[in-house]
Amino acid sequence: MTIVERTQVFLLPDLGEGLSEAEIVEWRVAVGDVVTVDQSVVEVETAKAVVDVPCPYAGRVVTLHGAAGEVRPVGQPLITIAPLDGGDEPAGHATYREEERAGSGNVLIGYGTGHGTATRRRRRPRLAVAPEPLDAGPTASGGASGAAAASGDPAPPVAALVISPIVRRLAREHGVDLDTVRGTGPGGVIRRADVEAALTAPAARLAAVPDPQVGSAPVGDGDVIVPLTGVRKVIADKLSRSRREIPEVTIWVDVDATGLLETRAAINAATPDAPVSILALLARICLSGLRRFPQLNARVDTEAQRIVQSAGVHLGIAAQTDRGLLVPVLRDAQRLTTAELAAELASTTAAARAGSLPPARLTGGTFTLNNYGVFGVDGSTPIINHPEAALLGVGRIVDKPWVVDGQLAVRKVTQLSLTFDHRVCDGGVAGGFLRHVADCVERPALLIAAV
């Protein structure tokens, strides 16, 4: 058996729910390098996060499929690995494991092939190395400039460093002059995100009708074209699916949050080194409500025609980021103390905004808490985060006239809204949950009695 016959091709794995592609950010290896099982070989960016991808194979790198800035679809080749000289594997490492023969698994960084199911992976070449021709323009490694360097002639000047044909097509379709785009990839490579940013910038207003040859429709003067790609496409697809499949109902109630604010102030005065947020207290109240009304901590399995009530509460927290609305998940949140909830919420939302959460932290939620009051609004009828069954929304807390013991007073008032899937429960359960949450907000002592 020859080396060629024994090479193994690692495919780009499924990086998370709803993600069909990823953009190569930076390769960690080059052709000829020796890699071990679970070694991180490439950094990729998905619509949800930037992640390191480890390789499930051991051996020598033969081919890197793709270059920095290139978008690769799931299931396409990423890297080709061959056994070391003589066909011997590094001590203690099999070329691949039984679960990898099945072509599935979880090999994202922190989720190695040593546990769970295994997912195939891919790699990309460094800019200076061109082990094989890439489907790219003349500025790609190994193209016209590479040939000039090999012959000793000076390389012709390159106005824009673009490797990915997808980036070129996106720019062409929307009339973006790549010479005016600043690349943020390694070595100044222009990435898809750079073109999208140029499209959304004020200076990116189209001055001419796009080339009809690429199939774009003419646009009016001053129109701005924003491609529905990346995180916006993921959000659009998921919300559209939610509205198509879930018969949702929204109920709401105004509550006096004065007692909750006073409770938070008292906790923080007693523990200044571990302050808690209003969101953490609301999360604690939601967890109490879900223990009483587990019907809302569920999902509908349409294929099996059944309702699945989750044993643990995997609490999603809606977070607005520069890359769009994300919902990072705190798994088994019911096991956390209030102080631990506060710390996890702070670190998780910060990581979501930085784009450093792995895709696994952005899926698998069973109930979502959405504080849209930070946008200065009172109420909302939010869309459920599919396939969950319910979502609690919280409006801004403002001074309002309120009747207390028969007397008019100024209190801190907010509006709570519960959107729920009517398939998992009827109004009595949903109303009971929302009333429990409202009562705990108004009288936090009830929360202590319930936990």
Residues in the chain: 451
Q: What is the pLDDT of residue 139?
A: 36
- pLDDT over 90 (residue 247): yes
Q: Which pLDDT belongs to residue 162?
A: 63
Report the Cα–Cα distance between both ends of the chain, in Å, rounded. 65
- Residue 107 burial by CB count (10 A; 0-12/13-18/19+): exposed, middle or buried? buried
Q: Do 412 and 228 form a contact (C-beta atoms < 8 A)?
A: no
Q: What is the pLDDT of residue 119?
A: 37
Tokens of 288: 């109490």
Q: What is the pTM of this model?
A: 0.58
Tens of pLDDT along 24-71? 888 999 999 999 988 889 988 776 677 788 888 899 999 999 998 888
Task: Tell me which range, 25-34, 145-154, 317-326, is most confidently predicted by mean pLDDT.
Answer: 25-34
More confident residue, 175 or 348: 348
pLDDT band at residue 23, thresholds of 50, 70 and 90?
A: confident
- As given in the structure block, the two tokens for residue 163 are 């490797």
What pLDDT is recorded for position 256? 97
pLDDT given at position 265:
96
pLDDT of residue 111: 33
E strands of 329-406, at which residues? 329-330, 367-371, 390-394, 398-404
Task: Look at residue 241 and tell me whether its pLDDT is greater than 50.
Answer: yes
pLDDT value at position 112?
Answer: 33
Q: What is the pLDDT of residue 211?
A: 41
Contact between residue 123 and residue 61 where contact means Cβ atoms under 8 Å apart: yes
Q: Is 422 a catalytic residue?
A: yes
Mean pLDDT of 304-330: 91
Residue tagged active-site, from 115, 314, 422, 436: 422
CA–CA dist 385, 391 (Å, integer): 7
Q: Encode pLDDT of 392-449 as tens digits.
A: 999 999 999 999 999 999 999 999 999 999 999 999 999 999 999 999 999 999 887 7
Q: H helices of 72-120, where?
A: 98-101
pLDDT value of residue 220: 61
